[in-house]
Amino acid sequence: MAEQGRPKGIATGLGLIAAIGVFFLKFKVAILGALKAGWLLKSAGSMLVSLGLYAAAYGWRFAVALIALLYIHEMGHYLIMKVKGLNPDAPVFIPFLGAYVAMTKLPDDPITHAWVAYAGPFVGGLAAVAMYYLGLQTDNHFLAAAASFGFVLNLMQLVPAKPFDGGFIAECISKWFLIPGIIMLVLLTLMWHSFMLTIICVVATVQTYNRFRHGSRYDQISIPFLERLKVGVAYVGLAVMLGYFYWQSESALRYLHST
């Protein structure tokens, strides 16, 4: 009897699998739509929580501007991840720390990783430039001030220390750039007396130590000099551009406030 029941159990199991398969095919659009909705709700939920906390701390106008700047920055990462087939998740916001886009598939080479990191401050910097000129054209001091903060926000991301974007960009050029990055981060922490920067500084120091002690998954990959040069020129050029616009925006704001 046991031997006869076994094929019956297998048949029942196969029938159940087939039924599940038919159900999925029939309702595929609805199922995928629900999963996508959950994906979007996770992003929207974290955004709304951050928006509420920022509004409570700094006011609604600044909160909306900050969320917009962070979102555009993260979408820069997201879009290039999508193009490179890295299967990015939706942006997730972490109150008072920023936001991030996770990729379910890591890049195969450090060049791709560097450009993924570069895309965030590049797109975010362009958005800040657009916001700045819109503020000047409409005589909106708040927009100009928000843009000035956007320049700092994206420029800060270029500090050559992980977990900042600049750490992944600089590492592609040479891992030795991570050391001056740590020094810069320590100086900024001492200058701004920021508790969050202190935590980031500790994390960056540990990551740099591990990078030199244990190496990286990319160490065996040879990077052509021309590719390193392209990344280096783009990196320095973006830093100079953001620094220039920050200086210009602060000068313009001081003039507007004095008139």
Structure confidence by residue, pLDDT tens digits, 87-125: 898 888 988 888 989 888 889 999 999 999 999 999 999
5 pLDDT band (50/70/90 cuts)? very low
pLDDT at residue 113, rounded to an integer? 96
pLDDT of 38 > 90? The answer is no
Among 15-19, 106-110, 145-149, the range scoring the smallest mean pLDDT is 15-19
Cα 109 to chain center, whole Å? 18
169 pLDDT band (50/70/90 cuts)? very high
SS3 (DSSP) at 3: helix
Structural domain boundaries, residue 91: 2-258
Q: What is the DSSP string of 38-106?
A: HHHHHHHHHHHHHHHHHHHHH-HHHHHHHHHHHHHHHHHHHHHHHHTT--BPPPEEETTTEEE--BSS-
Tokens of 57: 């701390």
Beta bridge partners of 103: 88
Q: What percent of the chain has pLDDT over 70?
A: 83
> Which carries the bigger pLDDT value, residue 90 or residue 11?
90
**Number of domains, the chain:** 1
Q: What is the rounded CA–CA span in Å between residue 161 and residue 186?
A: 11
pLDDT at residue 42, rounded to an integer? 64
Beta bridge partners of 100: 92
Over residues 46-90, the pLDDT tens digits come to 888 888 999 998 999 999 999 999 999 999 999 999 999 998 988
11: exposed, middle or buried (Cβ count in 10 Å: 0-12, 13-18, 19+): exposed
pLDDT at residue 40, rounded to an integer? 54
Over residues 184-219, the pLDDT tens digits come to 999 999 998 888 899 999 999 999 999 999 999 898
pLDDT at residue 155, rounded to an integer? 96
The answer to whether 100 touches 126, Cβ cutoff 8 Å, is: no
Mean pLDDT value across the chain: 85
